[in-house]
Structure 1
Amino acid sequence: MNTYAVTLPHYSVGPDVFDHLEFVARFYGRKAAVVGGATALEKAGPSLRAGLEKAGMTVTDWFVYGENATNAAVDRILESPGCREADVIFGVGGGRAIDTVKTASDILKKPFFSVPTVASNCAPVSAIAVIYNEDGSLSHYHFTERCAEHCFINTAVILDSPRKLFWAGIGDALSKQCEALLSSRGQDLGHTPLLGVQVAQVCEGPLLRYGREALDDFEAGRLSDAFAQTVLDIIISTGIASNLLTTEKDYYYNSSIAHCFYNASMVLPTIHAHLHGEVVSFGVLVLQAVDGNDEALERLARFNRSVALPTTLYELDITEEAQVDALVERATTLREWHCVPYEMTKERFKEAILKVDALGRSLKTNA
């Protein structure tokens, strides 16, 4: 066998997480660079600065990473004297900000600490980053040697984020369980991916149980248990599963048809008005249709309806058959197209998309 390492995240969660900086980050060094999104730094900045000061750490640089996780944004961090001088680097913001800082930290071989200011995906703890081209299309995945050394989940800051990002985060997290199960089906799994599949199977249930209540609490500004459980599902449960299910070369059970649908949809200009998790949540339904799981398809479609996630193509601004055909054609070129235990065909994929759309329209009619 080959020698390999698996890194899993440490994390703190709650409204006062930066008090933990004194007991965590300082053991990696005393100099910190902080890079993130503009709004994220504005909202998390004061309490993060106070935590760094309490921990006896100095800030070598503090700046906005840009607007998207691109190679150019990564290069700006690599070229920053303050980041090169720092002992540790903090990434603050949403998934794209964190993926940018995560990638640069990995290249610089600096310990990375994540501070998610939204609960929209597992980027804060996963050991993979998604890098985009300047036009918004997918460029490549960057696999890091380690995940974040620690993730500071400030629930008070997340509660002050846009509701639509939390909503879309629920949609994205719904994909972890079904994609892990489908992509690994029939495989002779070794210890690490086998463990990952088991972790993935605790991702769907809490979302169905707490998701609607968590959204209500979010709107009311309540730091409730339902809200915290949903945040942890979106960021931690899916992230740990991701780290166990993915390697750069040996295996990839982290994704399948749901993200194939999302990545393929990027060829449609109109889709860029929609959030990642929003589109992925429709892809989850397509996965169930592809796999012939009618019971799961209807159950998840009804959940989507209950929280206003899409169940029809119209809700994603896909209104013409030519758009579906372009999406299907693009899907065949993607890695996720092959993350199924059977041969995929264009016909099967298109039929599944149209089946979901028909079900969604039926649910709306009968609501």
Structure 2
Amino acid sequence: MAKIVISPSKYIQGNGELNRIKDHVNHLGNSFFVIISKSGMERFGQKIKESFGNEGNLYFEIFNGECSKNEINRLRKILEEKKSDVVIGIGGGKIHDTAKAVAYYEKMPVVIVPTIASTDAPCSALSVLYTDDGMFEEYLLLPKNPDIVLIDNESVANAPARLLVAGMGDALATYFEARASKSSNSKTMAGGYTTEAAMALAKLCYDTLLNEGLKAKLAIEQKVPTKAVENIIEANTYLSGIGFESGGLAAAHAIHNGFTAIEETHNLYHGEKVAFGVLVQLVLENADLDEIEEVLSFCDSIGLPITLEELNIKEVSKEKIMEVAELSCVPGETIHNMPFEVTKEEVYAAILTADALGREYRK
């Protein structure tokens, strides 16, 4: 029974590191294919060009907005035309996952440059694929983690505070899902079983969120990269990334995947839905009320949703919630890593109970 930890080959985080991107990636190849959003190009394009000295071995392609098979195939065709040999994904989680998938299919190195800290996607050997309409489709498991993850604290500090908060919602699940996976002796995304190192990182991630989360949110609202912001970026990105992949996923992310079927939730960020999924998982576990209240208090302090209404579900119908529950429990979903059997009826009940706990807390 193997225990496995996987991670990026190199993780770099500091102030102004985007100005030095060429120095960090130049050894990987000769021609660089950059996947970036339109707004990202406006914010960072010139800085990246200047780092490379405006050389002709740099090509930018604007991301269409969804990590779907169609978008991955579109980008692969352009990459082949440009004859690039390194993929760089600059932006948020869906760009990261798309860049990783493109690099995997084209058998080349990949560099991930988060300009926000809204998910734990950057460090993982995983791409989450959606339909073109934004509905969860499948996990694409990759044979290796990114070659380099490069984070410029100043770039992240200039992003909207809501994005950092969403990252904390995603990171919030790390410890609880790893704990459940270890208890059930389930295999992790790394292909083995949970290590003590992964559990320690997952617990450190949770403790960092509780100790630094509110301070980081307040600082980033002022667009300043304080020590608390730096620590939360590391928690959201590295601690959560290694913690979930080598520690294990369980109910919280499966419930997030279920909620993607409800159109009203599509304008919410991944981590905002995951945070509510944590509450649902704790209800499924019949966790101590003190622990549930600690999570409720944390979510409330930084602005993560704790009710269905805050997930934009204004009218709670049995049909909608049961659809979420059913999708959460499909064969192969990570909810089956819980240390007990979970049925759609139990998930339905847990969703409504989590909502009731959130509404009671709001009083």
Q: Note the alpha carbon deviations across 1:308-346, whole angstroms, 9 max, x for none.
A: 211111211333232222222222215123111111123
Letter in 1 for 2:194: P
Matched, 1:113 2:95: no
SS of the residue 1:153 aligns to: strand
> Is the 1:256–1:336 contact (alpha carbons within 8 Å) kept by the matching residues of 2?
yes
Cα-Cα RMSD:
2.4
Counterparts of 1:15-94 in structure 2, within 5 Å, are: 15-53=15-53, 58-81=56-79, 85-94=83-92
Partner AA of 1:227 in structure 2: V
Match for residue 210 of structure 1 among 191, 209, 212:
212
Cα deviation, 1:99-153, whole Å, max 9, x if unaligned, reads 1111001111111011111110122111101111112111221122221111110
- What amino acid maps onto 1:315 in structure 2? E
Q: Between 68-77 and 183-192, report the one with greater CA deviation.
A: 183-192
TM-score (norm 1): 0.90
CA distance in 2 between counterparts of 1:229 and 1:339 reads 29
The residue type equivalent to 1:127 in the other structure is A
Of all paired residues, the percent bearing the same amino acid is 27
Separation in structure 2 between the aligned mates of residue 336 and residue 32 of structure 1, nearest angstrom: 35
Who is 1:232 aligned against? 234
Matched, 1:361 2:359: yes
SS in 2 for 1:238: helix
Name the SS for the 1:134 alignment partner. Answer: coil
SS of 2:57's partner is strand
The 1:193–1:23 alpha-carbon spacing in structure 2 relative to 1, beyond 3 Å, is farther
Mean alpha-carbon deviation: is it higher for 323-332 or for 299-308?
323-332
Structure 2 CA distance for partners of 1:53 and 1:145, relative to 1, 3 Å? farther
Q: In 2, Cα distance between the equivalents of 1:66 and 1:351? A: 37
Contact 1:36 1:98 in 2 (8 A): no
Task: Please show how residues 262-301 of structure 1 align to structure 2 within 5 Å.
Answer: 262-293=256-287, 294-301=289-296
Q: 1:328 to 1:146 in 2, by over 3 A?
A: same
> Normalising by structure 2, what TM-score?
0.91
Aligned to 1:332: 329
SS in 2 for 1:33: strand
Give the Å deviation of 1:60: 4.1
- Provide the rounded CA distance (Å) in 2 between the counterparts of 1:338 and 1:116: 31
Q: Superposed, which structure 2 residues align to 1:145-184 within 5 Å?
A: 145-184=143-182
How many residues align structurally?
A: 355
Q: Classify 1:116/1:188 alpha carbon distance in 2 versus 1 (closer, same or farther; 3 Å).
A: closer
| Offset at residue 199 of structure 1 (A) | 2.2
Greater mean alpha carbon deviation, residues 24-33 or residues 281-290: 24-33
Matched, 1:260 2:257: no
CA shift, 1:78, in A, is: 1.0
CA shift, 1:162, in A, is 2.3
5+ residue gaps, structure 1: 246-252
CA distance in 1, matches of 2:280, 2:50: 46
Deviates more, 1:317-326 or 1:183-192: 183-192
Judging changes above 3 Å, is the alpha-carbon distance between structure 1 residues 327 and 150 closer, same or farther for their aligned structure 2 residues? Answer: same
* Greater Cα shift, 112-121 or 153-162: 153-162
Counterpart AA for 1:325: M
Query: Following TM superposition, by how much is the alpha carbon of 1:93 offset from its aligned partner in structure 2, in angstroms?
Result: 0.8
Which residue of the other structure, out of 317, 322, 338, is the alignment partner of 1:321?
A: 317
Post-superposition CA distance 1:253-312 (Å, at most 9, x none): 2x2111121111122121213221111101111111111112211110111111121111
Greater relative CO, 1 or 2 (CA 8 Å, sep 6+): 2
**Structure 2 gaps, min length 5:** none
Which has the higher mean CA deviation after the structures are superposed, 183-192 or 293-302? Answer: 183-192
Aligned to 2:299: 304
